[in-house]
Structure 1
Amino acid sequence: MSIADKEIPSTQLFDMIKQGLEGMDEKEKKDNMKKVNGIFEMRVKNSKGKEGIYTIDLKKEGKVYQGNAKPKADVTISLADDTFQALADNKINGQKAFMSGKLKVKGNIMLATKLDQVLKNAQSKL
């Protein structure tokens, strides 16, 4: 079932990450969770200001869902729809997006650096 928001095109990436995690066997998922060990709350806004909130839990359950993080997120990342797509397409890296103000981080900034790894792992599973 899709968790993407049609009005925010890059949220299709959450479907991809979700499918990537679901496609892993239990050992691979646990290894991935051990490497990342965090809960990301992603706030993605489209050009009209509509915001989608998604959680990537790679700490407790190893799943992706729409809505606020439960339990509390280790890091909250806010960014525009086109910036999230550019990150996924390797057109910009997270550090550059952060330094240029296109990506805002609250919480564990070191964990935010692992977002690139999460996206790459999901893409390799599809």
Structure 2
Amino acid sequence: MSDLKAAGFKSSELIAGLDTAFKSYSDKEKAEAMKKSNGIFELQVTNADKETVTWTIDMKKTGTVYKGKATPKADVTIILSDDTLVDLASGKTNGQKAFMTGKLKTKGNMMLATKLDTVLKGAKAKL
């Protein structure tokens, strides 16, 4: 779990929490969660010091989260700040609002990006 954390990133705890939630899913729960989102999300997160870390949430093949670029290629890359990711996870903002205000950018399948909220909420409910 500690290999997921990045110093200076508030969202590190969130990502580690996602990993814990995914590992606690039964096979059936994991299959259902993967069926709902069916995509590989690459998160490029930048903190206040302008450092960037990349995390990948694979909800297509493995139902896991890991640090680093997506392999195979991500279906959608989401570029956002550390604070925006924390706000998305806590429910302070939603993906559409963040996108419309320029706090979140996407590359790839933009419609899939809307399912990130579902992934975050599902994992939060499990914790």
Q: Using the aligned pairs only, state the percent identity.
A: 54
What CA distance in whole angstroms lies between the structure 2 residues aligned with 1:65 and 1:12? 13
- Deviation of 1:115 after TM superposition, in Å, equals 0.7
User: Which residue number corresponds to residue 35 of structure 1?
Assistant: 36
Contact 1:37–1:59 (8 Å) recurs in 2: yes
SS in 2 for 1:79: strand
**2: CA distance, partners of 1:30 / 1:112:** 19
In the aligned structure 1, how far is the partner of 2:12 from the partner of 2:96? Answer: 21
* Whole-angstrom CA distance in 1 between matches of 2:107 and 2:12: 20
Q: Structure 2 counterpart of 1:43, which letter?
A: Q
The aligned length equals: 126
**For the residues of structure 2 that align with 1:73 and 1:54, how far apart are their CA atoms?**
11
Equivalent residue number for residue 56 of structure 1: 57
Q: Could you tell me which amino acid in structure 2 is paired with residue 61 of structure 1?
A: T
Q: Deviations over 1:52-89 (max 9, x none)?
A: 10000000111000000000000000000111111111
Runs of 5+ consecutive residues of structure 2 not aligned to the other structure: none
When the two structures are superposed, what TM-score results if normalisation uses the length of structure 2? 0.97
Residue in 2 that maps onto 1:92: 93
One-letter identity of the residue aligned with 1:107:
G
Listed as ranges, the gaps of 5+ residues in structure 1 are: none
Task: Give the aligned residue type for 2:116.
Answer: L
